[in-house]
Structure 1
Amino acid sequence: MIDATRPPITDPTPIFDFYRGSAGTELLTAAVSHFGVFERLARAPRRFEELRAELHLAERPAVVLVTALRAFGLLAPDAEGRLALTPQAREHLVPGAPFDISGYIGLSAKAPGVVELVERLKTNRPAGTVPSQDGASFIYREGLESAMEKEQSARMLTLSLAGQAKNVAPVLAARYPLPEARVLLDVGGGTGLYAIAWLLRHPTLQAIVWDRPEVLKVATEIAAAHGVAERLKCVPGDMFTDPVPQADVILLSNVLHDWDVPQNRTLIRRCAEALPPGGSLLVHDVFLNDAFDGPLPVALYSAVLFSLTEGRAYSTAEYRSWLREAGLESGEVVPTLVHCGVLPARK
């Protein structure tokens, strides 16, 4: 049984990094063999928007690709703020250079993972939403066939995603306690493990898990197994359209990275409006550097998110701007586990 009270003895972060590392191979091969990024920049540096236009990429895939290349140490801003090749990239990744290895990298150009990533970069659409591909989306949105709406696939995905939550939830609850909170709302809470971890630390706390009906069947079972079913309410709904359940602390844990900027601004605004004065919104997620040059593990995870959802990893500055726009004052990020941290904001 999942135990929401005990953090892992060893840190699973390297395992997550190994798993997500294949995105590095795919992104580098795409940049070299499909988009000609290094050949283009060898001719002249480009501003991000100029390069994006040349590559015929929407903003989201362009951010994912360029952030990874910067995190690899292959691109860097020049004195005018334009994207330029680093010495390493200029020596080894420009076709025709004496020590060029782009042909070697090109051996993977037709690998299925590379081809699929290139298709997603070009279309700006995640797995399960491109007409030529089979499968249902990993996310729920009105009008989109979602695995989260079918009992068997919803259970499988919810429990699979709990692989991260069961490691991180006890750490989050320990490093960011909620001694003053009365009601916690876990938006898109899945298994409810984050809420359950806090419930077990704070006996007077009440919690609400707000998610899709099939997902909540799993949360109900896990709450009962931990003996907190009487203090955890499962509320089905659509977080973009239904009224936000009332709470004085709202948690968005690994939710915003599933969505693009307009949806995130909307969701944060809706949560902020539902909070009472003095209430808190907690953004628990991974964070890119504000310069969009790493950290490398988060840049690679961003590519994974891009491939499976409508989102990517975001920077702390991006989150702070959305929180400020919604009338919230953000604090400092408190690190948890697996490159995650919690960014608190108060109304």
Structure 2
Amino acid sequence: MNPILTQHPTTDPAIILQLRDRQYAAELIATALLRFDFFSWLQENEGTTEEAAAKYFQCENRPFDVLLTLCRAYGFITGGADGLSLTGMGKEHLVEGSPWYLGPYYTPMRDTPIVRTYLHVLGTGKPGNWRAKDTGADWHDSMREPAFAKEFTGLMNCRGLLLGQKLAESITPFLGERTRLLDIGGGSGIYSATLCAAHPQLSATVFEQAPVDRIARSEVGRHGLEDRISVKTGDMFLDEWPEAEIILLSNVLHDWDIPQVREIIIRAAKSLVPDGLLIIHDAFIDDDKCGPVEIAEYSALLMNITQGKCYSVAEYAGILAPLGFEIGSFNPTISKRGFVTAIKK
């Protein structure tokens, strides 16, 4: 087994991840500020509902929810579904006509490719082109191209070692006697590798579509874990999942909108044996959707390039509970990430 799997860093590189994760957040605020004049409108429509605001600006619910979450996290607005209001900072600095209005400071962002993409995403609910290019596919379609899949999987793999090792350590009290792990959308297999390295009783199956499946097989071999980790090729929405005692959804659900999230969890419920363990490992928005700031910023990135966003525990619970899952609490790990467990009853 590759010794790197059992070595652990002594520091938390949260800020390094955050610098990349927040790269689109300023453009989302610029979109609201300069292309919608959202804050001036809210000043004149104090107490408006989220639904009414989304309808007025002709925005789809998922991306508009991300925008409102980011604005709350930054302290620009307050309130929830029943009514939105500007904060003092929002009134003084984001409303046109205020002597301290800072809109002109954002003018250089007004027509950037990312702002144009946000207009598309907010209006249609569909992801923009990868890296805000004028031509090209979105992230989901791009992952079917071998060169892109290799690049992006490598990007996730370097982060996955760090996050996977901490997940493997933190999940220990929840595993019990369970031994069979199914890693859905497991990418390079790094999370299966770190879990198996930390827990000798585990064997794993990484479920991935082509061409990522070939990358996963190569990485599993590089880690010397071929005898404990297999790779099954398939589309998680179309193909049958193997039976499992543990299902890991690591950084998977945040790529999808609520209907697809529900479908994935329904499939997990069918695949898990009774008393099976579901692990949702991800970046989580607070239930009140007021933060954390770092995750609200990351959600803005995800909303731009995928069909998803960062979800709250409450949003997942609303899907899990009707399916008969017993839902655990949020468990923080490292770099503002964490996991939630659910037991199939």
Q: Deviations over 1:218-250 (max 9, x none)?
A: 221221222211111100001111111111000
Q: Deviations over 1:131-177 (max 9, x none)?
A: x94223322xxxxxx23223222211111111221110011001112
Of residues 59, 62, 82, the one that matches 1:60 is: 62
Deviation at 1:81, TM superposition (A): 4.0
Aligned to 2:280: 283
2:255–2:302 Cα contact (<8 Å) kept: yes
Distance in 2 separating the partners of 1:328 and 1:276? 12
Deviation at 1:118, TM superposition (A): 2.3
Distance in 1 separating the partners of 2:210 and 2:84? 46
- Aligned pairs for 1:236-315 (under 5 A) are 236-315=233-312
Gaps of 5+ in 2: none
1:32–1:106 Cα contact (<8 Å) kept: no
Q: Deviations over 1:22-62 (max 9, x none)?
A: 32211211111011111111112211001111110010111
Aligned to 1:168: 163
Aligned to 1:210: 207
Aligned to 1:153: 148
1:7–1:168 Cα contact (<8 Å) kept: no
Distance in 1 separating the partners of 2:281 and 2:297? 18
Give SS of 2:9's match: coil
Letter in 2 for 1:24: A
Aligned to 2:27: 26
Give percent identity, aligned residues only: 35
Of residues 171, 185, 191, the one that matches 2:188 is: 191
Gaps of 5+ in 1: 140-145
Deviation at 1:116, TM superposition (A): 2.4
Letter in 1 for 2:290: D
Instruction: Output the aligned Cα RMSD.
Output: 2.1
Give SS of 1:162's match: helix
2:118–2:128 Cα contact (<8 Å) kept: no
* Larger displacement relative to structure 2 (102-111 or 172-181): 102-111
1:288–1:314 Cα contact (<8 Å) kept: yes
1:191–1:222 Cα contact (<8 Å) kept: yes
Aligned to 1:142: none
2:120–2:128 Cα contact (<8 Å) kept: no
Note closer, same or farther for the CA distance 1:127–1:81 as it changes in structure 2 (3 Å cut): closer
User: Post-superposition, which runs of at least 4 consecutive aligned residues in structure 1 deviate over 4 A?
Assistant: none
Letter in 1 for 2:187: G
Aligned to 2:90: 89
Give SS of 1:288's match: coil
Deviation at 1:110, TM superposition (A): 1.8
Aligned to 2:72: 70
Letter in 1 for 2:14: T
TM-score (norm 2): 0.93
Aligned to 1:344: 341
Of residues 204, 216, 226, the one that matches 1:219 is: 216
Distance in 2 separating the partners of 1:306 and 1:4? 32
Letter in 1 for 2:21: R
Letter in 2 for 1:75: I
Letter in 2 for 1:42: Q
Of residues 180, 202, 223, the one that matches 2:177 is: 180
Distance in 2 separating the partners of 1:88 and 1:228? 54
TM-score (norm 1): 0.93
Distance in 1 separating the partners of 2:9 and 2:122? 36
Q: For this pair of structures, how many residues does the alignment match?
A: 340
